[in-house]
Structure 1
């Protein structure tokens, strides 16, 4: 099942509509958003760690970040990262990091950034999953939405101009700061590597949107 459907949001009714094909580079972008969202929505499974361990890096900054993530996946266990995930994002009362847009932008949960995101979701035909406890501005959900807009999960792939607006308002406005914080964690090389991948990827996205 698509992560965007299974976590916080669901596509509008597209019965009878033909989904447009997207360019290979957009498929790759959407896949990276989906990968990051999945890794930040729950502790990794053994299958996820095995898949990450197979990733190949390159000499680019992003390729080096991927290589770091791949090595970290080879050097850890499901049990270690289950503990790390709960320490980082859940804790006894709260985790070390609060992965919500409202918190990063205002210092509090359930604030205006969440209301703005919900308004954008309504405009785009994205409905929240009533069974999901986390608010929609959780980092995994926001990344899922971004990838879904690229893929066309909520109707048709949205134009680049509309992608840029969503990115600037709901991703770029706070997610880079979250990934920098994640990159600094000392208890998990895997999550630190996820932080590096997220930071570098969003820098590439920001640069690409500025050129369009």
Structure 2
């Protein structure tokens, strides 16, 4: 599991858009926390094929990820380990503090922990990743989407995204795209970039209209 404790309570007013957003955040959290299993790869391939030839950056990213999901499971697992698991510095860092300051455990992490505390969220016992890991942040956004479909909830989503994800998600995606040996996870990065770009643009419009 990722680094934030996420108590999710059912909301009767979820829109289809909110459900789709929550599902994207959940998928990114799952893929970036650990290597996929065979059923997940099969589901990715099926979901991508259902999109057909839909135009746009997000459908194209889905199509590319679906094609990459046809790779052998062991190869994808090896790729995850090679990119993210290391006794020293991983090939690709997945922590916001690294992209914002060049170091881990810095001021952005302290600010994030303070904001999580205000939201009533915290780190799960036994979790090794810090709260600024991209998978943990995606889980937090999923929680905020599912528990805040109203105007106040949207403003919480916008504020959290703007402060803790928007400044560095593109750098993380580009690091995946350029990482030696990255194939499946380069496609994961492209999906993250396309989806987060849509989120950022929507939140920018929300801020303008506020």
Length-normalised TM-score, structure 2: 0.89
**1:40 counterpart (24, 29, 32):** 32
**Shift of residue 62, structure 1, vs aligned partner:** 0.8
User: 2:75 maps to which residue?
Assistant: 80
Determine the C-alpha separation between the residues in 1 that align with 2:90 and 2:59.
Answer: 30
**Shift of residue 85, structure 1, vs aligned partner:** 0.8
User: 2:59 maps to which residue?
Assistant: 63
**Shift of residue 27, structure 1, vs aligned partner:** 0.8
**Shift of residue 12, structure 1, vs aligned partner:** 5.3
Contact 2:45–2:67 at 8 Å: present in 1 too? yes
Q: 1:123 to 1:183 in 2, by over 3 A?
A: same
How do residues 5-20 of structure 1 correspond to structure 2 at under 5 angstroms? 6-11=1-6, 19-20=11-12
- Long gaps (5+) in structure 1: 1-5
Contact 2:176–2:182 at 8 Å: present in 1 too? no
**Shift of residue 29, structure 1, vs aligned partner:** 0.6
Determine the C-alpha separation between the residues in 2 that align with 1:55 and 1:13.
Answer: 25
**Shift of residue 119, structure 1, vs aligned partner:** 0.4
Length-normalised TM-score, structure 1: 0.88
Determine the C-alpha separation between the residues in 2 that align with 1:115 and 1:101.
Answer: 11
Give per-residue Cα distances to partners, 1:46-100, cap 9 Å, x unaligned.
Answer: 11111111123321111011000000001x1121111111111113423101110
SS in 1 for 2:69: helix
- Long gaps (5+) in structure 2: none
User: 1:49 maps to which residue?
Assistant: 41
Do residues 190 (structure 1) and 202 (structure 2) align? no
